[in-house]
Amino acid sequence: MKLTIKDTKGKSQGELEVKFSLVEDGKGTQAVHDVVVAYQASQRMGTACTKTVGEVAGTNKKPWRQKGTGRARAGSFRSPLWRGGGVVFGPKPRDFSKKVSRTTRQLALRKALSERLRAGDVVLVNEFNLSSPKTKEFAGVLSALELKGTALVVSPADKNLSLASRNVPNVVLTTSDALNTYDILRSDKLVFTKSAFEQVEARLNKE
């Protein structure tokens, strides 16, 4: 498979041959599911916490005597039945992260990128080379590339690009090292610089 390389004005600058083998249809779907679930689970804070009967403030004194008052029996002000009492089986701080093997992560990344390539959702740019960190200039590049909807821009670290893109809605900036399966799937279009795409290929070709 070959990809057309464009400049920041949307003009063709040649082609680039994809140097990693695309995943066949029907293979790797479960790996993608496992990796996305693990990624979303790792984003959870896991800090929800409630107090049990033994942790809430209150005395151990019996509210009233057992018999003779006409009221229901009560043994503690901290009862879960009472306002301000303990919580039964409430959430406690926990780690939601799931372990996924490196082989599975590699297969999922390859599968996700393969599907986006087949769908024609990958745009290759020679390089951005913004002269200033102005949003207007970056928005002009997006317009020249005819990008609509959400977009993921994968590029080497660039201060001007980072500052110019942060106020553009529906655009997320990342690097080739930080690129993951979830990022590839969530955006309508993937915009790679030539060097970033080659670095991703190197990641996928590692055994």
Domain assignments of the chain as residue spans, ordered by start:
2-44+99-204, 45-95
Average pLDDT of span 131-141: 90
Is residue 129 predicted with pLDDT exceeding 90? no
Written as six digits, the tokens of 74 are 């009560």
CB 124 within 8 A of CB 5: yes
CB 41 within 8 A of CB 98: yes
Three-state SS at 205: coil
Torsion of CA 104, 110, 111, 115, to 10 degrees: 160
Q: How far is CA 3 from the centre of its chain?
A: 26
d(CA 103, CA 80): 47
CA atoms within 13 A on the CB side of 5: 15
Q: pLDDT confidence of 1, banded at 50, 70, 90?
A: confident
Written as six digits, the tokens of 17 are 């041959």
Is residue 207 predicted with pLDDT exceeding 80? no
Lowest average pLDDT, out of 23-32, 42-51, 63-72, goes to: 23-32
> CB atoms < 10 A from the CB of 203, how many?
14
- Quick one: pLDDT at residue 20? 87
Written as six digits, the tokens of 2 are 């070959």
- Quick one: pLDDT at residue 119? 92
Chosen CATH of 2-44+99-204 out of 1.20.1260.10, 3.30.56.10, 3.40.1370.10, 3.30.1330.10: 3.40.1370.10
- Quick one: pLDDT at residue 79? 95
